[in-house]
Amino acid sequence: MALILSDTCPHLTFAELIGNVPTKRHANPAGKQKGIMMSQEKVPNPASNEKVVTSVRVHQQKSALFRVVHSDGVWCSINAWGNVHLTFYSERAPIPTSVYFALDEKGAVTREEVEKREVKEGWFRELEVDIVLTRAGARSVYDVLSNYLKAMGEKIEGTEE
């Protein structure tokens, strides 16, 4: 059977994943099977002459917290469990905390007095989101990015990176 599973459950076999084999880690004390994703009739039997399952349909759905985030860069670290933390950030000049406007003799605004702006010194790096990956997940992201960067280099620059 050709099946590629994501990094969701790297410690489980396919049979364990669909709930046909109890696992010590996910044992059910009542002895009932939990989490069966397909019926027993649809589980492939290697001894039968039935058609072998060669793919699995995976439905993708955006979570309620899904959002698009612009990133100018990433801060990376590894935690005590060996997971990779990718903290994506955007950078910008500081936004003035106060601005002043000149008024004419009638009290109408005429222009901003730019020289009076109150602005923090330096640069802002806003940390947007932290993504935590296992080693296998990090390898997958690395491979995808490498392939895209190579394709971009060939298409845009006419050279490989």
Higher pLDDT, residue 15 or 113: 113
Closest to 73 (Cα-Cα) out of 60, 58, 92: 92
> Given a cut of 60, is residue 66 above it in pLDDT?
yes
Does 24 reside within a domain?
yes
Predicted confidence at residue 11, as pLDDT, reads 46
- Whether residue 146 sits in one domain with residue 80: yes
52: confidence class by pLDDT, cuts 50, 70, 90: confident
Q: Percentage of the chain surpassing pLDDT 90?
A: 58
- Whether residue 126 sits in one domain with residue 54: no
Does 65 reside within a domain?
no
Given 31, 60, 89, the domain boundary residue is 60
Query: What distance in Å separates the CA atoms of residue 128 and residue 36, rounded to the nearest whole number?
Result: 36
- Whether residue 33 sits in one domain with residue 88: no
- Whether residue 91 sits in one domain with residue 43: no
Helix/strand number for the chain, H first, E second? 2, 5
- Whether residue 53 sits in one domain with residue 89: no
What's the number of domains the chain is made of? Answer: 2
Does 15 reside within a domain?
yes
Q: Write b or e for each residue in 36-62: b if 16 or more Cβ atoms lie within 10 A of its Cβ, otherwise e.
A: eeeeeeeebeeeeeeeeeeeeeeeeee
- Whether residue 147 sits in one domain with residue 96: yes
User: 1-10, 49-58, 93-102, 118-127: which range is least confident on average?
Assistant: 1-10
Does 114 reside within a domain?
yes
98: confidence class by pLDDT, cuts 50, 70, 90: very high
Does 131 reside within a domain?
yes
Predicted confidence at residue 31, as pLDDT, reads 52
- Whether residue 83 sits in one domain with residue 56: no
Q: Quick check: 76 and 84 in contact, CB under 8 A? A: yes
At 141, list the tokens.
């992201």
- Whether residue 93 sits in one domain with residue 43: no
Tell me, what DSSP letter sits at residue 73?
E
Q: Once rounded to an integer, what is the mean pLDDT over residues 93-118?
A: 95
Does 79 reside within a domain?
yes
Does 66 reside within a domain?
no
- Whether residue 83 sits in one domain with residue 9: no
2-47 per-position pLDDT tens digit? 344 444 444 444 444 444 444 454 454 555 554 445 565 666 666 6
Higher pLDDT, residue 108 or 53: 108
Query: What distance in Å separates the CA atoms of residue 4 and residue 71, rounded to the nearest whole number?
Result: 30
Q: Percentage of the chain surpassing pLDDT 70?
A: 66
Query: What distance in Å separates the CA atoms of residue 145 and residue 66, rounded to the nearest whole number?
Result: 21
- Whether residue 85 sits in one domain with residue 153: yes
137: confidence class by pLDDT, cuts 50, 70, 90: very high
Q: Domain limits at 51?
A: 1-60
